[in-house]
Amino acid sequence: MKHFLSIALMTLLGTGVASAQMATFDNFNSGLNNGGWSYNPGDIIRSSGGNPGGWLHQPSADTFGPIFVASKPALVGDWRAAGVDKLGFDAILNNINFGNGAGFEMSILLRDTKGTPGVNDDDYAYFVGPNIPLVGAGWKSFDFAIPSQDTSAVPNGWQGGWSGDIENFRPGITWNDVITSVDRVEIHWLNPAFFAIFQQWNIGLDNIEVRGDGLATMRNGGGGNPTGFVSTSNPNTGSAWTSTVDLMTPGHLLSVVAISLDGPNQGVFPGNGFVGELLVKANFMTIDIQSGVHSFPVPNSPTLYGLEFSTQGATVDGGGSIHLNNAIDLIIGG
């Protein structure tokens, strides 16, 4: 029974089912753009030619250095609380007017806009990475570590900035202010502190991954159920989500965890051998029966980032009655 969740989630990989919560993966294979990445309205999602499959193509960026931006709810908010630790992507440079791309450094920038359209009150932090892919060299992968848990004024290798100084935070602002209030995520094809000649760029992105920690949130409806169902790990890809159900207090022998991809429920008291309030919709994807300890492997696929589902624990008494416990709502992270 411990592999049913894994099988269910692997089935979902081909359905296009996705929501997002501080963890997204965009491979553009189904024409989807979960993060809302964009350079301008001329962006095209191609169905082939990516790394592999679909990709985001900007065939004619007239600029000194292209900047792809994402600000959808999937990606913004408190990155420290969400445990974001990586921003990665693949990039390709098909053509530019001058040179082959040497001397342009791929960079990422996190921006706190204060919720206003103007830039004068923006604070941001950025990291300058390696050279962009060269013309004709094909796809190149970039991985940027996000030190969201770092509490120093400026993490090693990072720089802060604002409209008055592109290389230093304004007085009184630190990394903490930006990482806990990310309003916009930017991928720069040039060091943000540099300027270059305007030219035409033909570029693309694929496999954009923002990796955050999974979330497990307890829920108990009307509050009448026992609260013996506890998550003991975060639901992250490539590892097992584990939980326990208290058997000792009621003196029961078996525990049950029900998994529902249909979401939460409330105010349902089914009877007929069930004691308590049913807190997940009854179209269960799996039911796991154990003796207090439950473990569900989550496939190692970033395509699952942000998938939400609901679970509920229960115990079984000697007569076969099922005593419902609290629910735990899960969001898969990386």
Task: Please write the tens of the pLDDT for every residue from 31-72.
Answer: 999 899 999 999 999 999 999 999 999 999 999 999 999 998
Give the CATH number for residue 236: 2.60.40.10
Last residue of some domain: 177, 211, 245? 211
Last residue of some domain: 187, 211, 235? 211
Give the C-alpha distances (Å, rounded to integers) separating 135 from 71, 132, 138.
29, 9, 8
Assess if residue 298 is contained within a domain: yes
Task: Please write the tens of the pLDDT for every residue from 179-209.
Answer: 999 999 999 999 999 999 999 999 999 999 9
Contact predicate 310/280, CB 8 Å: yes
Assess if residue 61 is contained within a domain: yes
Q: How confident is the model at residue 289 (pLDDT cuts 50, 70, 90)?
A: very high
237 with 290, same domain: the answer is: yes
- The more confidently predicted of residues 4 and 293 is 293
Last residue of some domain: 211, 233, 263? 211
220 with 175, same domain: the answer is: no
Specify the number of domains making up the chain.
2
Assess if residue 45 is contained within a domain: yes
Task: Please write the tens of the pLDDT for every residue from 205-250.
Answer: 999 999 999 989 999 999 999 999 999 999 999 999 999 999 999 9
Task: Please write the tens of the pLDDT for every residue from 81-115.
Answer: 989 999 999 999 999 999 999 999 999 999 999 99
DSSP letter for each residue of 231-297: E-S--BTTSEEEEEE--TTTT-SEEEEEEESS-EEEEE---TTEES-EEE-S-EEEEEEESSEEEEE
Assess if residue 96 is contained within a domain: yes
Contact predicate 214/234, CB 8 Å: yes
pTM (two decimals)? 0.82
130 with 184, same domain: the answer is: yes
Give the CATH number for residue 104: 2.60.120.260
Measure the CA–CA gap between 294 and 316, rounded to whole angstroms. 15
229 with 296, same domain: the answer is: yes
Measure the CA–CA gap between 201 and 203, rounded to whole angstroms. 6
Q: Is the pLDDT of residue 13 over 50?
A: no
Look over the chain and give the mean of its residue pLDDT values, rounded to a whole number: 92
193 with 121, same domain: the answer is: yes
